[in-house]
Amino acid sequence: MSRKVCLLLCSLLILVLAACGGEQAPETIQIGAVVPISGSLAGGGGQVERGYQIAVEDINAAGGIYVKEFDKKIPIELTLLDDESDPNKLVTLLESLNSDQKVVAYLGGFGSGQHAAAAAIAEKNKIPYIGVAFALYAPHGQGYKYLFSPFPKSQDMASDIFAMLNEYLPEGERPTRVAVFQEQTDWGVELGDLWREQAAAQGYEIVVYEEYSVGSSDFTDIILKAKEADAELLLSLPTPPDGITIQRQMAELDYTPKFQFTIRAPDVPTWKDLGEAGDYVALAPGWFYGMAYDGVAELNEKHMEMTDRPADPIVGPAYAAVQILADAIERAGSLDRDAIRDAIAATDMDTVVGPVTFREDGTGVVNAPILQYQHGTIELIYPSEFATAEMIYPIPPVSER
């Protein structure tokens, strides 16, 4: 055989082997989520789960995500596991999603403490992580490359409440005597410190600052301190069980501040079980089903079919997290984790929570609406251009409702 023929055959053989050895398109795109479906955070975790499920169904109904590397649309396969509101179980489950499912990305659960634990694992495994219901800023200060959170942060929640009160109320009518009930967690400390800073900067006075442990059953002492100090504005961020207990005991002790801003606890549907005792509380869950963005009406319709009510506050951000990930995978044109990570960082898109981009530290540039329970219904009260109702102030005592 001549040398030319031999070289030609070798070249052909290399091309055939390369074609045969090329990676074939997977049947599905593997995405993992660890969410508290049971335990103390289950009320919020259930909302996250519904948002993810509806978004995945919508994307798969359209054939999946187009991946240029394989020149085809590939459906999403979401493996969703229950961490039972336990950060130790969360870590174990995230590791299993990496080792067993080989997921290309993580979607987060509910609660800042859970996200803080998850972010470290995502960084170690170099897996992109998108988390909502996650206001804690501290993990973003760790220099993590794989952490993204299209959700309002502590800095937003600390400043926006005072910005709203200053905009809506004349100086002499503002609730300047402030009580803070600080949960003894990383997020509790972070937000409590920021509330102190913002109160001082905006001319408000902290007259009561009380710490408590998660899972406490008796809040009588701190409530009475706030009542005796004539605290006009109450700021807190309890878990749903703690928040419901605090609210019931406030009603029993006849303490009603002029205004109340409670993070996290009122986000869950069970808050309405408090009846009149839970009314007029302001909250900042990161989204509202009445915001007029593309896709919100369709999301509400599907949520109504599932639960007989419009989408709960965390459902929208959870749905948006899947939108962001799907968009990033398509722009990456690959299932390579680093390519997806880079595409998420470059996000600039409209979602059901509005326009979203990311800062270098992974925090999202997003809207941060403040809502208020009014006569058993949630209304959007801030920013004013989105408001569905005026802020009710001062809050009427429970005995007069």
Do 139 and 279 sit in the same domain of this protein? Answer: no
Do 216 and 75 sit in the same domain of this protein? Answer: no
> Is 278 within a domain?
yes
Do 73 and 174 sit in the same domain of this protein? Answer: no
Spell 297-321 as b/e; 16+ CB within 10 A means b: eebbebbeeeeeebbbbbbbbbbbb
- Report the SS3 class of residue 106: strand
Higher pLDDT, 160 or 268: 160
pLDDT tens-digit map of 259-317: 999 998 998 889 999 999 999 999 998 999 988 899 999 999 999 999 999 999 899 99
pLDDT tens-digit map of 69-118: 999 999 999 999 999 999 999 999 999 999 999 999 999 999 888 999 99
Q: What residues form DSSP beta bridges with 31?
A: 78, 105
Domain extent at residue 228: 154-285+370-400
266/264 Cα distance (integer angstroms):
6
218/4 Cα distance (integer angstroms):
89
DSSP string, 233-268: EEEE---HHHHHHHHHHHHHTT---SEEEE-SGGGS
Residues in the chain, how many?
401
* 218, burial (CB in 10 Å: exposed 0-12, middle 13-18, buried 19+): exposed
Which pLDDT does position 19 carry in this prediction? 43
Which pLDDT does position 387 carry in this prediction? 93
pLDDT band at 11 (very low <50, low <70, confident <90, very high): very low
Q: Is the pLDDT of residue 164 over 50?
A: yes
> Is 18 within a domain?
no
Do 267 and 392 sit in the same domain of this protein? Answer: yes
Mean pLDDT computed over every residue of the chain? 93
CA neighbor of 180 nearest in space, from 280, 262, 247, 285: 262
pTM: 0.83
Q: Is the pLDDT of residue 15 over 90?
A: no
Tokens linked to 307: 């639960």
Cβ atoms of residues 176 and 165 within 8 Å: no
Q: What is the CATH number of the domain that holds 320?
A: 3.40.50.2300
Which pLDDT does position 401 carry in this prediction? 87
> Is 355 within a domain?
yes
**First vs last C-alpha separation in the chain:** 100
Do 294 and 281 sit in the same domain of this protein? Answer: no
Do 305 and 190 sit in the same domain of this protein? Answer: no
Half-sphere exposure of 306 toward its Cβ, with a 13 Å CA cutoff?
Answer: 17
Domain count, the chain: 2
Backbone angles phi, psi at 215, to 5 degrees: 90, 5
385/381 Cα distance (integer angstroms):
9
Do 251 and 394 sit in the same domain of this protein? Answer: yes
Q: Is the pLDDT of residue 7 over 90?
A: no
What does the pLDDT average to over 56-69? 98
Q: What residues form DSSP beta bridges with 235?
A: 180, 261
Cβ atoms of residues 98 and 33 within 8 Å: no
Do 250 and 394 sit in the same domain of this protein? Answer: yes
> Is 11 within a domain?
no
pLDDT band at 21 (very low <50, low <70, confident <90, very high): very low
Question: Residue 16: what residue type?
Answer: V
Do 36 and 141 sit in the same domain of this protein? Answer: yes
76/183 Cα distance (integer angstroms):
38
pLDDT band at 386 (very low <50, low <70, confident <90, very high): confident
Which pLDDT does position 12 carry in this prediction? 43
Q: What residues form DSSP beta bridges with 80?
A: 33
